[in-house]
Structure 1
Amino acid sequence: MEHLWFAYPLISASVLMIIDLVLWQWLHPRLLRRKLVCRLVLFVLFSMALLDGGLSPLYPVPADWPVARHVLATILTIVWWLFGARTLTVLVVVVMEPRIGGKGHLLQDVMGAIIFLVAAVAAAGYVLDLPVKGLLATSGAVAIILGLAVQSTLGDVFSGIVLNATKPFRVDDWIRVDDIEGKVIEIDWRSTHLLTAEGSMAVIPNAMAAKTRIVNFSRPDHFHSVSLSIELSTRLRPSLVLDSLDKAILGCRELLAQPKASATVVKSGLRSVEYEVTGYVKSRDRRSAVRNQLYDLIHRQLAATETRLDQSRPTTRQSALLNTVGVLRMLSDEDRNQLEQHMRLGAYAAKDVVLAEGVLPDALYIIESGVLSVSIQRLDSWIEIGRMGPGELFGESGFVDGTPALGRFCAYTDCMIYRIDKADLEPWLQDHSELLGALAGLSRFRTKARAAVLETKPVLADPSGFMGWLRKNVTRFQVSRLPGPNDKMS
């Protein structure tokens, strides 16, 4: 090979090695593919330099060479094997990284160690002309002795390889190993590191993790369970309690429709009955918030059911309901008694429209039991923006500023709703300006919530397949055929 820069092939090979080391340290670790390309190019040039110098990695260096040149040639030939092993290791990392993730280094390290071991044995056999069979026999005996000495450690290492290959969990997954629960922070050669809910670090040997039961709370990753148990008195009929629990479940919009949430009786005793509610949410981070919301909804639904059935209480159903409405708690007992006289109870079946969008409310509505869905019309469909339960009111816009309802209020389940007609309530509000101010604040809050929903652009599904391709190309063709400013119209 007559290359000017190969006039001194051994020196050229040494310079290429230095360039490789400098580039590998200089390039950012994130540019792994670029580093691999540079290393491949330098490895090819390094091989060409050795061949041009009369060297072959498959044969020993000629014995008649001068000592200095012989030593340099031997070192460079051994380096060729290690250089090739390192290049192959990087190639394996680039190929495997999309499959095992950027943090799954254990399997990569094991394969890299095997590659370097094979390269070292090959260099010893081909370049140094050592008796490889005797070396392998000696190393085998040493390996047996070391294996017996570090049997436990080797068990952890091979268990770690199995865990990385089968992938029962990955880094950032939330798992439970035996009775230890936490988030996977790292999987190294010997152990798996978990960050527990208390903020402490739990180190579990890989051999233990491979043999015991593993529960992965992050798989599948599109839904996560939320469960809670409630213990109630036996004086409440289970069928009525289950009905209230079902309404509370429907009142929580964050619970997924599939898998469907449910409420069941776990066990019954002489004094109490235990119920369990199970549902699913999209994000694990929302589990605590949804659980708290469910407790609040269950309390309100049960309170409404108990108030409706318990006639022995000195207070009326209307008074018990008014006590749960936030904007009406400021009223005195005398004012509340006057307001009760104008309350009229109405029953609505599921899907009944209580108040239509764009209609001026002629009454103030207060929900006693059930779940109400609030939706607005956008384009040609209805978008649900919220759900309401016992103790919530609507229709306040007709009293505050005389504007129509901003949404459609429809019964999501069977509902019992009180209404107070505008003719009865308007004169009464003139003497209670603080109540009118509270209704105005509620109206402003709902107006902002509706505006926020309207400002959100709808997500249009991108058609795929042949029809999507055809639509895109037809659109591109139509745009390209639009007449320009200089085109003549016929």
Structure 2
Amino acid sequence: MAATFGRSLAKGEIDQFVRIWRYGLFRAKLEPSERLSAAKSPMTLALLGDPIVQFCILVVIGTFVSRIMLRHQRAGRLIGQLIFFTSLTVLLLYHGIIPYEPSPPENSVTLRTFTGVAKIIWWVNGAWVLIAFVRLFLIFERKPREGRLLQDLIVGIIYLGAILSIVGDVFSVPIGTLIATSGVFAIILGLALQSTLSDVFSGIALNLGRPYSVGDWIVLDNDIQGRVVETNWRATQLLSGTNDLVVIPNSVLAKTRLTNLSSPDESHGINVTVRIQPTTQPRIVADLMQNVLISCNSIEKTPEPSVSINSIDGQAIELQLSCRVRDISQATVAKNEIFDLLYRHSKAAGLKLAGPPGTITLPAEHKTEPSGEQQHAPSTPWRLLSNIPLFSSLTEDEKEHLASHMQRRTYRKDAIIAEQDAKLRALTIVRSGVVSITRREGHRQIELTRLAPGDYFGENGLLMGTGEVGTVRALTFVVIYEIGEDCLSPLLHDRPALAEELGAIMAKRIEAERHLFANSNMLVNGAPASSLTSRIKHLFQLQQHD
């Protein structure tokens, strides 16, 4: 036996010697640099073949490509994450590591630690791939808020699933037991976060029900109103009319009754109640109120505004005017214009506003008769001149002169008062009714404005010799008063400074009403008063008075 062991030992020593001798000959034939490479190659190959080294290299490359190089390219980052996740799966399965199964307990501590880290990274990257798919492809056309909500819900479910998988497969904790034993903790946490959870679930309900959208104007039961500027999981933010930010928790918003003033469209309805003394037939009063709405420029023409008689008694005829505006922001402007037109139309028709319900109004025959100068009521032409800013600088005698020479004319409904570009030689003041000015541009008819009692037109032709900006048409029966050139010319020759006053007033009006003059041949951009004054002087031959 000893001889046999000796022979085998001698044979092993001889084989080892031969290998060393051959390796020495191989190194002797190499250059010094090649000898160093030959010495390091076995170590390099051993390192590259180590699964931990391969895993680390793959993680570094995948993180650099998907998180740094492709961080601004959503589709490219998804492709990079998918390639990295696939390569990581192949690497782990090649080395016998199954990410979705618990690790064998007989493995060493080092191997179990490496396996656990590898599984965690695998589950996290798998979750990121699914989230990238959701963010990129789960999109609702024209419903970005619903799409974002569904994306967040699915992303939350993906993260929860990844966490539970890591707990079960990496740490070998029974999921069912963990959920059952954490019930007490969940109850305590739920009670502590009761308000927050209520806001979150209310936010989910509001987002799914979609009673409002960002940009809508809403009103709550407690008279809080504003435009929705942001809605999230916890609260909704409103921008009020006073430019204040109002933050309302979703749980409060879900319990209160709200009115969406921007739905189903942006138009908003407004109602105005007026009381007129019953001195004439209710039908005539209702027609007059209809003229008020027809002459209003701030309201929508469709649907057609309406007037309804609410009640009538010995004190007043109560009517309700209903119309729509383009959006809620125009409601105040429209109401102000309606109130102004109510006064002007009522005064032009000789009607008087009644007091609020419960007040006592003396009949006309019981009122004290005025005496002395109060018995002398100013004429209609004089009152019209007094309400026109263009003639605000005239003296009382000059107004009396113009009023005595004014001509009264009437036009039936739909009658053409003046054609577009016609040069009128008289300033025309609307006494009663509604007048429309429309401009023809190619095949289009554009309504520039509507005129009510007290408004005027024709000053372009009278004072500057230019044509009308549009066709003037009567929308109702119209009564007008005209101031002709032969009536105004003596005043200008007697007081040439009046031309400068008229030029300054015309310049301000052109600047304030650009939509009426934008397409005409008049100066628009801050029309200089000096140029307008020169036109007036030239037209009335006043140059010698400069």
Tell me, yes or no, if the aligned pair for 1:191 and 1:204 is still in contact at 8 Å.
yes
1:174–1:217 CA contact under 8 A, matched in 2 = yes
Matched, 1:452 2:497: no
User: Using a 3 Å threshold, how does the CA distance of structure 1 residues 266 and 91 change in structure 2: closer, same or farther?
Assistant: farther
Mapping for residues 121-132 of structure 1, pairs under 5 Å? 121-132=164-175
Structure 1 residue 78 corresponds to structure 2 residue 120? yes
Amino acid at match of 2:518: A
Give secondary structure in 2 for the equivalent of 1:222: coil
SS of 1:143's partner is: helix
In the aligned structure 2, how far is the partner of 1:195 from the partner of 1:233? Answer: 42
**Letter matched to residue 167 of structure 2:** A
Alignment partners' CA distance in 1, 2:104 and 2:86: 18
- Residue 375 of structure 1, CA deviation: 2.1
| Change in 2 beyond 3 A, CA 1:150/1:377 | closer
Task: Name the counterpart of 1:183.
Answer: 227
Shift of 1:84: 2.7
Deviation sequence 1:336-369 (CA, Å, 0-9, x none): 2222221222111222111122333233211111
User: Structure 1's 23 and 273: CA in aligned 2 closer, same or farther, altered over 3 A?
Assistant: farther
Matching residue within 382, 407, 422 for 1:359: 422
| Equivalent residue, structure 1, for 2:459 | 396
Matched, 1:294 2:338: yes
- Structure 1 Cα separation of the partners of residues 501 and 452 of structure 2: 19
* Aligned amino acid, residue 326 of structure 1: P
Structure 1 residue 414 displacement after superposition: 1.9
How much does 1:256 deviate?
1.6
**Following the alignment from structure 1 to structure 2, what is the Cα–Cα distance between the partners of residues 232 and 20?**
79
Q: Contact conserved, 2:266 with 2:328, CA < 8 A, in 1?
A: no
Counterpart of 1:206 in structure 2: which amino acid?
N
Distance 2:514 2:196 in 1: 62
Which stretch has the larger CA shift, 221-230 or 438-447?
Answer: 438-447
Task: Report the equivalent of 2:90.
Answer: 51
Distance in 2 between residues matched to 1:288 and 1:348, nearest whole Å: 33
Task: Find the aligned partners of 1:396 and 1:188 in 2 and give their Cα distance.
Answer: 57
Query: Take 2:397 and 2:314, find their aligned partners in 1: how far apart are those partners?
Result: 41
Q: Greater shift after overlay, 232-241 or 71-80?
A: 232-241
Structure 2 distance, partners of 1:307, 1:321, is 17
Residue 23 of structure 1 corresponds to 68
Matching residue's letter, 1:11: C
Return closer, same or farther for 1:23/1:167 CA change in 2, 3 Å cut-off: farther
* 2:55 alignment counterpart: 10
Question: Does structure 1 residue 165 correspond to structure 2 residue 246?
Answer: no
Match of 1:340 among 403, 406, 414: 403
| Alignment of 1:89 onto 2:131 | yes
| Distance of aligned partners of 1:448 and 1:144 in 2 relative to their CA distance in 1, 3 Å threshold | closer
Q: Is the contact made by 2:425 and 2:461 (CA closer than 8 Å) also made in structure 1? A: yes
Matched, 1:326 2:326: no
Residues 1:271 and 1:450: Cα distance change in structure 2 (over 3 Å):
closer
Equivalent residue in structure 1 for 2:144, among 101, 112, 125 = 101
Structure 2 gap segments, 5+ residues each: 1-47, 354-363, 365-374, 522-546
**Letter paired with 1:88:** L
Give TM-score, length-normalised by structure 2: 0.70
Secondary structure of the 1:182 match is strand
Unmatched segments (≥5 aa) in structure 1: 456-490
Identity of aligned residues (%): 29
Given that 1:377 and 1:383 are in contact with CA atoms closer than 8 Å, whether structure 2 keeps it comes out as yes
Work out the number of aligned pairs and report it: 446
- On the 8 A contact 1:16/1:42 being kept in 2, the answer is no
Q: How does 1:256-335 map to 2 (within 5 A)?
A: 256-267=300-311, 271-306=315-350, 314-335=377-398
Name the residue aligned to 2:264. 220
Aligned 1:232-251 pairs, distance under 5 A: 232-235=276-279, 238-251=282-295
Computing the radius of gyration from Cα coordinates, the structure with the larger value is 2
Contact 1:385 1:453 in 2 (8 A): no
Q: Is the aligned partner of 1:119 residue 2:162?
A: yes
Whether the 8 Å CA contact 2:62–2:80 is kept in 1: the answer is: no
Q: Distance in 2 between matches of 1:184 and 1:261?
A: 29
TM-score by structure 1 length? 0.77
Q: Deviations 1:111-148 (Å, cap 9, x if unpaired)?
A: 33222112222233344443222223334564355445
Partners of 1:373 and 1:268 in 2: CA distance: 32
Over aligned residue pairs, what C-alpha RMSD do you find?
3.7
